[in-house]
Amino acid sequence: MVAPAAAPLKPGLRDRPLDARDVADARVPDLGPWLADPPTIVPFSWLGRALRKLRLKHWQFVSVTSPSLFMGIGAVSLHFVSAAFAYVYLKEEKRYEEFSAVAPLALGTTYGGRPDSGETSFSTPFMNVRFASDCVRHVREISVDARKSSLRLRASLVVSELPSWSSEALNLVSDLGGGRPSFTFKAVGAPASGGVFLGKEHFPVRAGEALACVDWTTAYSTRVTTWNWASAAGFDARGRIIGFNLARGINEAANGVTENAVWIEGRRMPIATCRFSFDHGNPMSSWTIRSDDGRISLRFLPVGLRREQVNLLVVNSNLLQTFGLFRGHAVDNDGVRHGFDNIFGVTEDHYSRW
């Protein structure tokens, strides 16, 4: 028996997060006539589901900044392979440590639920990463336990996503081309707390001075994907919490809806298309980022970078993530200009053939 055809996901902003299954089971015309809809014909439905699953990508990234450190934690699943990483930059010592691992066939990896509930985990003998969200308690818990040589990294962090913050999160469905849906959730500037151990050193992460940025995405990405991205959170010149999420080359709709936004004291405000200017041959030089509507203008000075290059038979990827200091200004919906200096965050220059 054949079930009715699935419906494509309608692009646009949503009031609440989608479940990963909403994207997985959507109609995707670009996958061809056999895989456009979730297969339901027995005995071949299992094969169709498996092939569709291989085209679906999931990733999650959380950054936390405090007076003493900046930390980035990420996990990605392509279903035939998965990877996770965690890095710490100690601001006073200017010390950088990175831990990463790859799991063939995505063994030991789970990615489920919604960005506001459910769990993502990655487990190998030398690296364990876990993201767990609880929409009842309004918290996101992140844990890391990783080793390299004789050095061990342990982190236990809690991002407090109170209803006032959660209601201002960005929930966006996009068409990446050919009817390929993407759902991305962004929450910027939420309070963070917990602690980080690097070797025998302990670095407390205290609420009131530490902030987090969250990126949760699931997508039927196009075969070749490129983007630039910037994300940061901190305090403006008047001590108000300010943060932003800006991208170019991904999640851009013909009607002007993008994932670009600035958050001021937890209130999200849309930003127009942004333009990134930097030297691809020297990514440690300064970057400039400006929006077409003039509401945000940034200068970014990197202090370090994480580079990941993958060259496999079916996957080629070049990811450059720089972290450092943003200075500039953003204009809110009331026309008030918010200046800021030395807000810590990240930028990305990404290319994948996957």
- pLDDT tens digits for 127-162? 999 999 998 888 999 999 999 999 999 999 999 987
**Residue 85 reports pLDDT greater than 50:** yes
Q: Which residues contact 326 (CB under 8 A, 6 or more apart)?
A: 230, 232, 234, 298, 299, 300, 340, 342, 343, 344, 345
Task: Please tell me the least confidently modeled range out of 43-47, 153-157, 311-315.
Answer: 43-47
Provide long-range contacts, Cβ within 8 A and 24+ apart, for 27-32.
Answer: 27/179, 28/52, 28/55, 28/178, 28/179, 28/180, 28/181, 28/220, 29/178, 29/179, 30/177, 30/178, 30/179, 30/180, 30/220, 30/222, 31/55, 31/180, 31/220
> Checking DSSP bridges between strand 211-219 and strand 69-77, what pairing results, if any?
unpaired
- 199 beta partners: none
Q: Is the pLDDT of residue 292 over 70?
A: yes
**Predicted local distance difference test score (pLDDT) of residue 3:** 47
**Which class is 1-221 in CATH?**
mainly beta
Confidence of residue 111 (pLDDT cuts 50, 70, 90): confident
* Contacts made by residues 40-48, CB under 8 angstroms, sequence distance 24+: 40/1, 40/2, 40/3, 41/2
Residue closest to 247 by CA, chosen among 296, 307, 179, 192:
296
Mind listing the pLDDT tens digit for each residue in 226-285?
A: 899 999 999 999 999 999 999 999 888 766 789 999 999 999 999 999 999 999 999 999
pLDDT at 2: 45
